[in-house]
Amino acid sequence: MREYATQMEAARKGIVTEELKKVAGKERMTTAELLPLVAEGKVVICANRKHTCIEPEGVGSMLRTKINVNLGVSRDCKDYEIEMRKVMEAVNLGAHAIMDLSSHGDTIPFRRKLTSECPAMIGTVPVYDSVIHYQRDLATLTARDFIDVVRLHAEDGVDFVTLHCG
């Protein structure tokens, strides 16, 4: 059984994970150089263990700039296969992350397809999906509703989220 839940927790315990090794290699660093940056929170390795095909990347201090591409199903483009082709083309062109901005229909199958087929980091915007998931106006959603959607995204294998707070 794993002795840690997050890459930061592993780093703080001095555990060099496979993800950390891969990121160190990509960044032309030693694991000894990268480990304290992850432990201190200066570098984040976005790698949800439920994202089964991820090629982990590091984000943060002293690392290469990462390319994020915004995609997702919408009222105008409801075809998951077309959107997945766009996703994979973005990855083939060098994208390190895909931000799923899906804003229409049943978003769960597309999100799960992303985390089972796309090797890039996957991010989402849970507040968008909260409105879709509950099929209610944003003003009627509770904090619990929102937290439950964040949890659902994590359980689906999402690696990072954007939070809109106000």
pLDDT in tens, 11-29: 999 999 999 999 999 999 9
pLDDT at position 135 is 87
Give pTM, 2 decimals: 0.92
Sheet containing strand 68-71, edge to edge, reads 68-71, 97-100, 121-124, 160-161
Q: Dump pLDDT digits (tens) for 95-115.
A: 999 999 998 888 999 999 999
Mean pLDDT of 155-164: 94
Task: Classify residue 131 as exposed, middle or buried by CB count within 10 Å of its CB (0-12, 13-18, 19+).
Answer: middle
**Among the listed residues 159, 165, 162, the one whose alpha carbon sits nearest the alpha carbon of residue 44:** 159
